Amino acid sequence: MTATTDGSTGAPPPRAAAASETDTDTPAAAGVHEAAVRATLRATDFLLSRQDPEGWWKGDLETNVTMDAEDLLLRQFLGIRDERTTRAAALFIRGEQREDGTWATFHGGPGDLSATIEAYVALRLAGDVPDAPHMAKAAAWIRARGGIAAARVFTRIWLALFGWWKWEDLPELPPELIWFPSWMPLNIYDFGCWARQTIVPLTIVSAKRPVRPAPFPLDELHTDPAHPNPPQPLAPAASWDGAFQRLDKGLHALRKAVPKRLRRAAMNTAARWIIERQENDGCWGGIQPPAVYSIIALHLLGYDLQHPVMREGLASLDRFAVWREDGARMIEACQSPVWDTCLATIALVDAGLPADHPRLVKAVDWMLGEEVVRRGDWAVRRPELPPGGWAFEFHNDNYPDIDDTAEVVLALRRVRHPEPARVERAIGRGVRWTLGMQSRNGAWGAFDVDNTSPFPNRLPFCDFGEVIDPPSADVTAHVVEMLAVEGLAHDPRTRRGIEWLLAEQEQDGSWFGRWGVNYVYGTGSVVPALVAAGLPAAHPAIRRAVAWLESVQNDDGGWGEDLRSYRHAKEWGGRGASTASQTAWALMALLAAGKQDSRAVERGVAWLVATQREDGSWDEPYFTGTGFPWDFSINYHLYRQVFPLTALGRYLHGEPFSRKRPGRPLAEAKGS
C-alpha cells in the first residue's frame, strides 16, 4: 500500500483493459436482455413504493458528522441543548468514527482534521470523557496533525464561540461588506449563493465576537496547550495570498477605528438582508449552514428565541433531522425533493411506465406547484429577466437553480398531463429564464450568471470549499439537452453552449463533473446532451468519450470513481469501486452514443442486474454527489435507484425522445 498526498492510504485500483466488442452473441449475453426486463420491473415497483402521497420523492441526503456536531454546538450556544437530542446525535457520531479514531467526510475517505475535531467536541458535550479509548485515539490523531491551530476557519469560528480559540486570530469579516455595490470587487454577489448566505450572517458574528462559557477545556487538542494560538506564517507579499493576508491584517487594525454607529448600521442592514431571505418554511436557502449562522447572528442582535423569525428558523432545523431505527439522529445539510422527483419521473418514463400513469401525473402536479415565480438574488445580475424555473428544495424561492430547471423541464416533457396548456406555460417560463441565465462564455453555472470573480477564493476566510459558481460541464450539458428537446438545438445560444462543451473536453476524452463524482458524471452528462443536440456518434468528441469510458470500466463490468479524482485526476480519474449510480451514468453515455450492442454495455447492464437487491433497490455506501469538489461530498440515497432504472430503461427502450423507440410500456408495474 502507498500513501497519497492527502494523507490517506491505498493506491488507486488497477485500470481495466478496454472492453472487447466481441462475444455479444454468447448465451450469457443473450440472457442479459431478459434479466434487464425483470430488474427494470422490480426497480419500477420499488421506486413507485417510495413516492409520497403528495407526489414527490426524497431520499436521505447524507454528508458528514460536522452537520451533527455543529447542530449540538448551536444548541449549546443558544442554551437549548436537551438530553434526547444530544444522546441521539452522539449515537450517530460515534457510529461514524473509524478504527484509527478519525472521522472522514466521505465513505472510505481519509480522516479529516476539522471533521474529527468537531466530532470530538460534540462527543465531549454528550459526556464522553477524554481518556475513553475512542476519544484518546481521536485526540492523539488531531495533535499529530497540528491540533486545533491547523483546522479550517469554520471549525475555529465554532470553537471561538466558546473561548476555545481567540477571535483576534481569525480572519476579519466586516459587516460593511453588505454596502458594497454589485460592481465593486468582493461585494456579496461575487460569492456563490451558498457562500453569500453564510458570509452575511458571519459578518455580524465576526463583529460581535461572542464568547459563551466553555463547559470544559480542550487542552488535549493543542500541540502546545501553553501556546494554543501559534502565529500563522505569511505568504510572500508579492503573491495574491500574501496580499490578502495583509489586507486581513489591515482590517483587524481598522476594526477599532470604525465608528460604532456606522458598524451598528451595517449590522442592521445585514440583518434586514437575512430576514428578507428567510423562506416560507423558516429556513434560509433550503440549506442548513446559512440557517445556523443566521440564527446565531440574529440572536446576537437581540432577537429572542420566541421571535417568529427565530422560532420558525429553529423549527426548520428540526426538519433536517433524520431519526433512525436505532435511535440515532442524522442531520441533512440540505433536502432534495425537486431534484429527486424530476429524476424519478425521468427514470420511470424511460423505463416504460405509461406517460399518463396516475403517479406520474401526481408528480407533475407537485412539480408545477414548486415553480419559482418571484425574483431572487439572481435578478441582481439579470434585472430585466422575468422569473421562472425550479429550486432544489421544498422551499427556496430566492435561489432557483439552472440544473434543476433543466431536469424538471425534461421530466415534464415526458408526461402526458391532462392540462397540457398549464404544463406548456411553466415550461415556457423555465426555458426563458434558463436562456437568460447564460454566462458570457456560452455556458451555465448553477445559480448565477458570470459568478467567476477570482477574488473571493483568495480571502483567508475562504479556506474550505467553493465560494464562487462558475459554469460547469454537467450543468451546461443538462441545459443543452433540455434546449434540444425543446427544438432549440440550432438556436445560437444552444450552439454556443455546445462549442463551450467541446472546448472543455479533457485530453483523455472525459469531462470534469462539478456536481457529481466526477469524470464519469461529467462524461455521462455531456455525451447524451451532445447527441440530443445533433452531434453524430462518429463525431471525434463522442468517439473519444466512448473510448475513455470503455478504458475505465472495472473488471466486474461496473464503473466507479473515487472522490480522490478531484485531487489526483491522473491516478483516480474514472477509477474506484463500482457503484450503481456511476455505472448508470457510464451506460447512459454509451447508449446515447449508439453502443447498445457493445460488450461494454452488456457487461455494465449485467453488473446492475447482478447487484440489484430482491426488493428492486441497490446498495451504495459510496458518495457520488458533490457539494464542493473534495471538500464537501454527498451520498444522495435516491441516486442508487433513479439512475440505474434510467439506464436499464434506455437499454431496453432506446433514447426517450428518439422517433424509433423499441419496447413496450411497463403496464405490469404495480402502484397504478
Asked whether residue 567 carries a pLDDT value surpassing 60, the answer given is yes
Which residue in the block uniquely carries the three cell numbers 502546545?
Answer: 224
308-352 pLDDT tens trace: 999 999 999 999 999 999 999 999 999 999 999 999 999 999 999
Confidence of residue 38 (pLDDT cuts 50, 70, 90): very high
As a whole number, mean pLDDT of residues 437-463 equals 93
Q: How confident is the model at residue 227 (pLDDT cuts 50, 70, 90)?
A: confident
Is residue 463 very low, low, confident or very high in pLDDT (cuts 50, 70, 90)?
A: confident
Candidates 1.10.1300.10, 3.40.47.10, 1.50.10.20, 3.40.50.1820; correct CATH number of 62-224+242-331?
1.50.10.20
DSSP codes joined into one string, 151-166: S-HHHHHHHHTTTSS-
Helices (H), 415-539: 420-436, 473-485, 492-504, 519-532
* Mean pLDDT within 631-642: 97
Q: Which of 630, 560, 520, 576 lies closest to 104, judged by CA? A: 630
Question: What confidence score (pLDDT) does residue 516 get?
Answer: 97
Which contacts qualify for 372-375: CB closer than 8 Å, 24 or more apart?
372/396, 372/397, 372/400, 373/429
CATH annotation of 27-59+336-454+469-653: 1.50.10.20
pLDDT computed for residue 100 by the predictor: 96
**Average pLDDT of the chain?**
92
Query: In terms of DSSP H, where are the helices of 126-189?
Result: 133-144, 153-160
pLDDT at 455 over 50: yes
Residue 663, pLDDT above cutoff 60: no
235 pLDDT band, cuts 50/70/90, is confident
At residue 27, does pLDDT exceed 90? no
Residue 474 is among the residues annotated as catalytic for this protein:
no
**pLDDT at 418 > cutoff 70:** yes
Percent of the chain with pLDDT over 70: 93
Percent of the chain with pLDDT over 90: 85
User: What's the mean pLDDT in 224-246?
Assistant: 80
Out of 190, 350, 403, 448, pick the active-site residue.
403
Q: How large is the average pLDDT for residues 250-258?
A: 86
Instruction: Say what the pLDDT of residue 460 is.
Output: 82
pLDDT digits (tens, 9 = 90+) for 106-138: 999 999 999 999 999 999 999 999 999 999 999
DSSP string for residues in 400-444: -BHHHHHHHHHHHHHS--S-HHHHHHHHHHHHHHHHHT--TTS--
Residue 628 bridge partners (DSSP): 632
Q: What share of the chain is helix, strand, coil (3-state, %, to 5)?
A: 50, 5, 45
Beta bridge partners of 633: 626
Contact 581, 604 (CB under 8 A): no
Confidence band of 13 (pLDDT split at 50, 70, 90): low
Tens digits of residue pLDDT in 190-218: 999 999 999 999 999 999 999 999 999 99
What pLDDT does residue 240 have? 76
What does the domain layout of the chain look like in residue ranges?
27-59+336-454+469-653, 62-224+242-331
Provide the pLDDT for residue 15: 55
For residue 656, which amino acid is it?
A: P
Q: What is the pLDDT of residues 582-609, one digit of tens each?
A: 999 999 999 999 999 999 999 999 999 9
pLDDT band at 66 (very low <50, low <70, confident <90, very high): very high
pLDDT tier at 636 (50, 70, 90 boundaries)? very high
Mean pLDDT (whole number) for 24-47: 82
As given in the structure block, the three cell numbers for residue 72 are 449540538
Place 21 in a pLDDT band, splitting at 50, 70 and 90. Answer: very low
